Structure 1
Amino acid sequence: MKVFKKLWPYISRYHYLFYGGILFVILNVGVSMVPGYINRKIIDDVITNGQVELLTRLLIAYMGVTILRSLFIAIQRYCIEGLSQKTLRDLKQSVYDHLQKMSFDFFNKNKTGELMSRMTGDMEAIRVVIAEGIIQLVRCIFYILFVGFVLIRENIQLTLISLAVSPFIAFFAYRLSERIKPVFSKIREQFSDLNSTVQENISGIRIVKAFHQQGYEMEKFDEENNEYFIKNYKAAKVWAKYFPIIEFLGGVSTVFLLYFGGRLVIQGEITIGVWMQFNSYLWMLIMPMRMLGHIVNMISRAIASGERIFKILETETEIKNKENPVYANRAKGEVEFKNVSLKYDDQYILKDINLHAKPGNTVAIMGATGSGKTSLINLIARYYDATEGEIYIDGIDVKDFDLKSLRKQVSIVMQDVFLFSETLRKNIAYGSPEASLDEIEEAVEIAGAKGFIKEMDEGYKTVVGERGMGLSGGQKQRISLARAILEAAPILILDDATSAVDMETEYKIQKALEEMEDKTTLFIIAHRISSVRNADEIIILKNGEIAERGSHKELLKLKGEYYKIFKEQYKELIDDDGYFKGELEVS
């Protein structure tokens, strides 16, 4: 019931459909009992007693009831189907909206395929239980109430005899629900794993083919697919164990009715018409019992899926606004780290970081892979929160800012460039949808993307493939850079943003950034000395700590980590003392 309590706020938004659907299900149950009574009258009054004049009226009544019942079924279906679709739409929107609020860390811990399965297969299980389960459950309850009441009034002895096996049917239905629910939970989990396998394979198909791993991928899918089969087969075995018992007991009720009811007819205690009415009504009573297995199956699937869906909705994001947050129109761009540390699973990723970037300054960050470069810049816009210490923008702690307002102050070109399956114009203007074509072209010019866009037949209307397929690595980086520049935020972060472009193009981009009218505070993560040499401050990270800091010339004089990188990259051009050949001093 916990799942359905959580689901109720979504259903209750459309209470008129919910209660309307239930009303017409009940009316349908009531009307469906009338043909049994008409059959009794035809047998007892028309056929047995020869009251032929009643036949026409009874047949007209029969047709009227049939039409009325069809109308009630149509209205109940309209109400319940509308309820299920609208509830599902709202629930999907809630999950999707909640996912937008989650931190990077949440997506690090949850596979894309798993999240997709919760938005598809799990949602469908919820829809089915609303669309079918409500009808079946209400119908069962009111068949038992209405039919039970009528049958007891007709002949309590025959009713009790016919329903003698009902407690056993209820018992086995309960046992089925107990056994099938955990099995369905495992099926939903395995479906997520299967979904993840397919999603990862399709996303990485070029790598798969490049390394000739199709066979390995097919084996991996075969294992997951077979595991999915095994879990479904286990559910089928549970179903096969209990459902036939429920069906058999339902049949036993009919045998009791035929035997004992037939004896009462022979003894003259009831008429054949009453017996026939009793028989048709008993089937209405037995039908809900026989449907218990299907209902249990449906509800168990929905519970397993609902638990997974609400687990997402109940997962609190670690990154959220404080009460009464600070709203800022445009910051100056001053950024300061004070004794900042970041831990992940009790391991320090960054430790005791202190840096101060004045408005318009350029700070370059270098270091080996895994040294914490990307983690450091991700703290500025609160994609993660620092474990210790504070980060300030214009003297205000970033945790005090409204998140949306904070992130408007920061534009970022991420290391893993992502482009949508949209036109180039829409990709560039993704963060600034109201930007004019002139503003877009200006950003494209600075990013060095104007040349190759002009060469395309459809220019800015060119639709790129999924994740930017069809563009080279350098082209994707320049589109991503143009997207960040167009936002015109006071703080610009370039995370290895020009690694795929040639050095000449990189130089032109750097010159264009320096000559921008609205000078931004620039953070550059790079591996090339050419990318960072003009920075106001260069920071060398090592194992999450600042190993060296200073300008290009200052760091060369230290002859430490930066000097080693410099010497490695320029070994063809410098002598053993670190001087450029033919020059008198370190450049």
Structure 2
Amino acid sequence: MMIFVRPHMKAFVFLVFLTISLGVLAPSRPYLIQYTIDNFIVENDMPGLNKMIVILIAVQLLQALVQFCHTYLSGWLGQHIVKDMRVQLYEHILKLKLKFYDNTPIGRLVTRAVSDIETLSEVFANGVAAMLGDILQLIFILLVMLYTDWRLTLISLSVLPLLLFSTYVFKEKIKVAFNDVRNAVSNLNTFVQEHITGMNVVQLFSAEKREQDEFQKINKEHRNANISTVLYYSIYYPVAEVIAASGTGLLVWWGAHSVLDGYATLGTLIAFIMYINLFFRPIRMIADRFNTLQMGIVSSDRILKLLDDKDFISNDGTYTTDSIKGDVEFKDVWFAYKEDDYVLKNINFKVNHGETVALVGATGAGKSSIINLISRFYEINKGNIYVNNRDVKDYDLHNLRKHVGVVLQDVFLFSSSIRDNVTLGDKSITDEQIMNAAELIGAKSFIEKLPGKLDYKVMERGATLSVGQRQLLSFVRTMVYDPEIIILDEATSSVDSETEALIQGAINSMMKGRTSIAIAHRLATIRNADNIIVLDKGEIKEAGSHDELLQKEGFYAKLYQMQYKEVEGIN
């Protein structure tokens, strides 16, 4: 974690200085009170007593000022470190392969980026620095006590082994309990995030009661984990108080005899009562700080494991270009989401500049996998993919994706304005460019009818828009970047016939002069394609034009008879 402290090293060094200062100031008040009693009160020296009172007030004010600076600076440092960690963690998440998200619940990532990092804020603010201060305070108090009277020191601390033992037992129990709490929080976040997102499915299948029962089960585990921590607190603090009180009782009993026998002064006894309270309080606080530290250790372990996951798409390519011709070629490509379980096998085809290629096949044939590989969302296992006669691995990743426009079947819209959803925060894109792209797609009229037009706030996942409107916005989002390669992943399958008719002309305009690869079941897209590639179980079975494939009476002809014959009859 020190890597995150380095940018704030001056503040950290000053915090260490303040921590040492607090440790030195802690035993000063009992010592000054002892000195005042033995040298001024007993001697009835009022002028001297008045001076010591002024000194005591000054020392107390100084300690209060140092305590304020220490508390504020530790909190300030903690928040800055947490901000840096959260930025780095989010930047790290952005670089991970899509394969990582295929296998990781979103709620778990939310817990890492929000809850776990917030816990680390408490560690820096009330954990590490405060614990260091408590330890230094213990050391300085012990040294002053030994210097003042070693016999009273031994009597005072005779119960210390019991306190340390109870603290150790408490530490071990609370460590397990807090680990259970963090796991329960992660499970709770994951469940709530997933099921609120999929609430339409829950209600569609009348599964509210089952989901409520499952939520109660997970919430019960969360409650029980927290109650375990409360139980250990409830046991430890009374035990610690009894042990500390026993030490004070022994001190008073032995110290009173020492004062009466002349071995110790009254001021020394009173000072030692203050010392022992000051000594045992940091030990109890250390146990409390340790709880915060334990939570921080668990949270940091989770965060570091995520940061250690280097499953990135390597961006070692350096080639960049302002424009490309748009040729795409797959050469002996093999690909598997899981090792050796290939979903694409020996794929070979080429799409020349300006051509439109359609990928057809049953569900699971490998169509979507092919289009995901062009933009390097996943890495191939064997073979090569070329764009503009250059291996895609030679391209700078961001430059490659700038030239490839993808329209997905499942459109995702953010809770923001139409403008932000189209530009994704790119300030270089003007409103005029957005509206020009919208006019080309046929979305301009519906955008202009929205309250606020481009400023219209889209609800989460575009809930306030129709399926067709969301799909149209995805077209605008793609075309505003003017890509040379267009990929359509069943882009019209979610729209009605009227909307399809509206955008089909726009699709044709989009494809002019561009290389286009389309996954589609609709007849219009398939029949107009220059080349149709038929996939089955990850292999290319046939390729050719619509008429050529029908004449072969093979895979495509069978698919056509099953899926398109009725549509053709209607037309």
Bin for the TM-score computed over the shorter chain: over 0.9
Matched residue, 1:334: 327
Q: Which amino acid aligns with 2:144?
A: V
State the TM-score, normalized to the length of structure 1.
Answer: 0.92
Q: AA paired with 2:321? A: A
Q: Distance in 2 between matches of 1:228 and 1:172?
A: 26
CA distance in 1, matches of 2:263, 2:272: 13
Contact in 1 for aligned 2:334/2:345 (Cα 8 Å): yes
- Aligned equivalent of 1:544, options 525, 538, 547: 538
RMSD: 2.1
The answer to whether the Cα contact below 8 Å between 2:361 and 2:559 also exists between their aligned partners in 1 is: no
- Compute the displacement of 1:517 (Å): 9.1
SS at match of 1:14: helix
- What are the ranges of 5 or more consecutive residues in structure 2 without an aligned counterpart? none
The reply on whether 1:498 has 2:461 as its aligned counterpart is no
The alpha-carbon distance between structure 1 residues 538 and 433, as it changes in their structure 2 partners (threshold 3 A), is farther
Offset at residue 91 of structure 1 (A): 0.4
Q: Select the residue among 539, 542, 557 that pairs with 1:563.
A: 557
C-alpha distance after superposition, 1:530-563 (max 9, x if no partner): 2221011111221111222211111121223322
Deviation at 1:488, TM superposition (A): 0.9
Does residue 113 of structure 1 match 2:114?
A: no
Q: Show the counterpart of 2:358.
A: 364
CA distance in 2, matches of 1:392, 1:29: 66
Question: Cα distance 1:62–1:327, how it changes in 2: closer, same or farther (>3 A)?
Answer: same
Question: What is the deviation of 1:238?
Answer: 4.2
Which residue in the other structure is 1:73 paired with?
67
3-state SS of 2:535 partner: strand
Which residue among 450, 455, 465 is the counterpart of 1:461? 455
Other structure's SS at 1:547 match: strand
1:227 is matched with 221
Aligned counterpart in structure 2 of residue 474 of structure 1, from 463, 468, 471: 468
Contact 1:432–1:487 under 8 Å retained in 2 = no
* Post-superposition offset of 1:241: 4.9
Counterpart in the other structure of 1:53: 47
Matched-pair contact (CA < 8 Å) for 1:22–1:135: yes
C-alpha displacement at 1:571, in angstroms? 4.0
Is 2:556 the partner of 1:534?
Answer: no
Distance 1:570 1:402, change over 3 A: closer
Distance 1:553 1:501 in 2: 27
Runs of 4+ in 1 over 6 A off after TM superposition: none
Contact 1:448 1:505 in 2 (8 A): no
Query: CA offset at residue 236 of structure 1?
Result: 3.5
In structure 2, which of residues 159, 166, 169 is the aligned counterpart of residue 172 of structure 1? 166
Q: How does 1:9-408 map to 2 (within 5 A)?
A: 9-322=3-316, 325-345=318-338, 346-408=340-402
- Unaligned stretches of 5+ in structure 1? 1-6, 575-579, 582-586
Counterpart of 2:513 in structure 1 is 519
- Which amino acid is 2:276 matched to? L
Q: Secondary structure at the match of 1:533?
A: helix
Q: 1:436 maps to what in 2?
A: 430
Cα distance per residue 1:312-347 (max 9 Å; x no partner): 11100241122x632232221111101111112232
Q: What letter matches 1:388 in structure 2?
A: K
Aligned partner of 1:330: which letter? S
Distance 1:562 1:505, change over 3 A: farther
- Shift in alpha-carbon separation, 1:431–1:163, aligned structure 2, 3 A: closer
Aligned pairs, how many?
570
Query: Cα offset for 1:240?
Result: 4.4
Q: TM-score, normalised by structure 2?
A: 0.95
Q: CA deviation at 1:351?
A: 1.2
- Flag the 1:241–1:388 CA change in 2: closer, same or farther, 3 A: farther
Does structure 2 conserve the Cα–Cα contact (< 8 Å) formed by 1:40 and 1:274?
yes
Contact 1:431 1:487 (C-alpha < 8 Å) held by counterparts: no
Q: Distance in 1 between matches of 2:423 and 2:245?
A: 68
Is the 2:418–2:457 contact (alpha carbons within 8 Å) kept by the matching residues of 1? yes
- CA drift of 1:223 comes to 0.8
Using the TM superposition, name which of 102-111 and 285-294 deviates more. 285-294
Quick check: 1:166–1:289 contact (8 Å CA) kept in 2?
Answer: no
Aligned AA (1:495): D
Once the two structures are aligned, what percentage of the paired residues are identical? 35
Deviates more, 1:530-539 or 1:41-50: 41-50
